[in-house]
Amino acid sequence: MTSELNVNKPEPFIFEQPLRVFNRSTDVKQTIKALEEGKPVLISAFYSNGLSLLRELQLHLKKKFPGKSFQEQRKYRSEFHKLSNLILIEIVDHKLVVKKSPSIGWLEKLYPENNKFLLTFPQVQGLNSAWQWYEKGIIVPVLRNKIHPYYGTYFPTRFDHLILFDNWLKRYEGPKKAAIDVGIGSGILSFQMVKHGFQKVFGTDTNPNAIVGLKEVMGETKMSRKVEIDFGHLFGKWEKQTELIVFNPPWMPAPKKTEGIDTAVYYNENLFPEFFEKAKERLLPEGKLVILFSNLAQITNVTKEHPIKKELEVGGRFKLEKCLNRPVKASSDKTKRDQNWRSSEEVELWILINK
């Protein structure tokens, strides 16, 4: 199955015309002006030149967007994303051509037949970080083993919701024959359920990278026999009713059309109504529907609507058994974003049952 899936990856490209080049002797202000005019810039000589230009671009945009509010920071990030992705770097024979650059295994793994092309500098940074996570693995407090997320697969960097789910699983006294994990991602919720005695977990994801990565990491291990996965929307091919459905959806409404890994962060207006409709068909009469969520969108004034509360009020399909909350751990002192709202952020574990 995995050999038929095309994984999401940065699209390689080639420029026919000569590109403006940036190195240590290039005028930074003129380079940033060119970026703002929509002209691409090629990093040359050293990898650190790319890092230097990104730093200068950040300083420039912080003067332009000095606001600290959530919405103003979003504007700053949007502009930085647009301009930084005009900064390019060349790859030849699966290596960056600039000196003192990192070795990135994804360049060979994802582009086996492509020997010479360009990527944006942020894309290369993303590939480099993803390779480090994939190679070294990531410790997740609720699991015995590290996870090794495949490129382009969402994985959590905060664990409050996973701890909340783990504590609930410890007290769960229902049947453990089978469960469905909608949007399996890097597999953490499924691995938690197996750890707590579930015989079989059926996982789905619309991201081919998640499916390819989990197939690779589970291989022929015992886990691969307990966790079965399918590339598909919501419930995919799983049609049998089950005693437990688990869903860790995106927590923020989409500001625009989303694709790729953004679909793990932002939800569109159809996601929850469609999920609840299909979940009703697949939940056994005495089964439980567990949804991991957050009040993040409400406390940052992105929306007043809470999709789970809305379903309980007007959906007519489920009733609330319990909602568990856990305050989110304070943000790191190292973070440069203003995150005062974090003091009132809570993760939520909703347990719904059939009406």
The tens digit of pLDDT for each residue in 181-202 reads 999 999 999 999 999 999 999 9
| 319 sits in which H/E element | strand 318-327
**116 with 94: CB under 8 angstroms?**
no
The candidate with the shortest Cα–Cα distance to 275, out of 247, 304, 300, 254, is 247
Rounded to whole angstroms, the Cα distance separating 60 from 80 reads 10
Q: How far apart are CA 162 and CA 155, in angstroms?
A: 11
Q: Could you tell me if 92 and 189 lie in one domain?
A: no
Note whether 270 and 346 are same-domain residues.
Answer: yes
Q: Evaluate whether residue 153 is within a structural domain.
A: no
Total count of domains within the chain = 2
Both 58 and 23 in one domain: the answer is yes
Q: What is the pLDDT of residue 5?
A: 85
Task: Work out the end-to-end distance of the chain between its first and last CA atoms, rounded to an integer number of angstroms.
Answer: 38
Q: What is the CA radius of gyration of the chain?
A: 22
Same domain membership, residue 121 and residue 188: no
What Cα–Cα distance (Å) separates residue 274 from each residue in 46, 107, 321? 50, 37, 21
Q: Note whether 68 and 199 are same-domain residues.
A: no
Domain final residue, candidates 86, 118, 134: 134
Determine the pLDDT at residue 330.
61
Residues 349 and 307 in one domain: yes
236 and 210 Cβ atoms separated by less than 8 Å: no
Torsion angle of the four alpha carbons 26, 19, 95, 12, in this order, in degrees rounded to the nearest 10: 140
Give a yes or no: residue 66 inside a domain: yes
Domain that holds residue 281: 160-354
* Residues 260, 306 share a domain: yes
* 128 plus 165 within the same structural domain: no
Q: Are both 179 and 327 inside the same structural domain? A: yes
- The predicted pLDDT at position 86 comes to 95
DSSP annotation of 154 reads -
Instruction: Indicate the residue among 118, 134, 150 that finishes a domain.
Output: 134
Shared domain for 247 and 345, answered yes or no, is: yes
| Residue 29 lies inside a defined structural domain of this protein | yes
CB 27 within 8 A of CB 52: no
Same domain flag for 121 and 202: no
Q: Residue for token digits 């026999």?
A: 225
Q: Angle at which helices 70-84 and 28-36 pack, to 10 degrees? A: 100
**Both tokens assigned to 109:** 């793994």
- The answer to the question of residue 143 being in a domain is no
Determine phi and psi for 288, rounding to 5 degrees.
Answer: -125, 140
Tell me the two tokens of residue 157.
Answer: 């960097």
Which pTM value belongs to this model? Answer: 0.83
In a domain, 144, yes or no: no
Listed residue (332, 340, 255, 341) closest to 77, CA to CA: 255
Dihedral sign of CA atoms 190, 296, 126, 160 in order? negative
DSSP 8-class letter at 105 = T
pLDDT value of residue 353: 96
- Confirm whether 142 is domain-assigned: no
Q: What's the average pLDDT block by block, 10 residues per block, for the chain (355 residues)?
A: 77 86 92 94 95 95 86 88 95 94 95 92 96 95 94 91 96 95 96 96 96 93 94 94 95 67 72 95 96 84 86 93 86 44 81 95
SS3 283: strand
- Residue 47 falls within a domain, yes or no? yes
155 phi, psi to nearest 5 deg? -140, 150
Asked if residue 94 belongs to a domain, the reply is yes
pLDDT score recorded for residue 346: 87
Query: Kind and range of the H or E element at 181?
Result: strand 178-182
Whether residues 164 and 125 fall in one domain: no
Q: Alpha-carbon distance 169 to 120, whole Å?
A: 43
